[in-house]
Amino acid sequence: ETGVTQTPRHLVMGMTNKKSLKCEQHLGHNAMYWYKQSAKKPLELMFVYNFKEQTENNSVPSRFSPECPNSSHLFLHLHTLQPEDSALYLCASSPLTSGGPYEQYFGPGTRLTVT
């Protein structure tokens, strides 16, 4: 247990569906991240939130919509996805104090399949 939980663990959705991924961290961290991990590719950083404010959007298509209501919770809202969006979506958190260094703590991921 890393202190970061993600739900659901598995999700199958059609291209016209709307679903949301949830991430919660119990570590008191103030930075949270969404990553996409596809087969044979490096981890792709999607979004970064520092103190609930989005500080990075790594050219992610608008069909992915993040939400960070507080420092402990992070959502990724999904709509009209494409089959190539099928991947493991990982959430992570880290402290952001005193200039670092910052280890990241990852959740177990949500395996998403778009049909």
Partner 1 sequence: SQQGEEDPQALSIQEGENATMNCSYKTSINNLQWYRQNSGRGLVHLILIRSNEREKHSGRLRVTLDTSKKSSSLLITASRAADTASYFCATDRGSTLGRLYFGRGTQLTVWP
Binding site for partner 1 (CB under 8 A): 2, 4, 6, 31, 40-43, 45, 48, 50, 55-56, 88, 90, 92, 94, 96, 99-109, 111
Q: How distant is the alpha carbon of residue 58 from its chain centre? A: 12
Q: Smaller CB distance to partner 1: residue 83 or 101?
A: 101
Least distance from C-beta 52 to partner 1, angstroms?
Answer: 14
C-alpha to C-alpha distance for 89 and 47, rounded to whole angstroms: 12
Q: Whose Cβ is closer to partner 1: residue 1's or residue 16's?
A: 1
Q: Between 10 and 16, whose beta carbon lies closer to partner 1? A: 10
Residue 24: strand, helix, or coil: strand
Dihedral (Cα; 106, 89, 60, 23), 10-degree rounding: -60
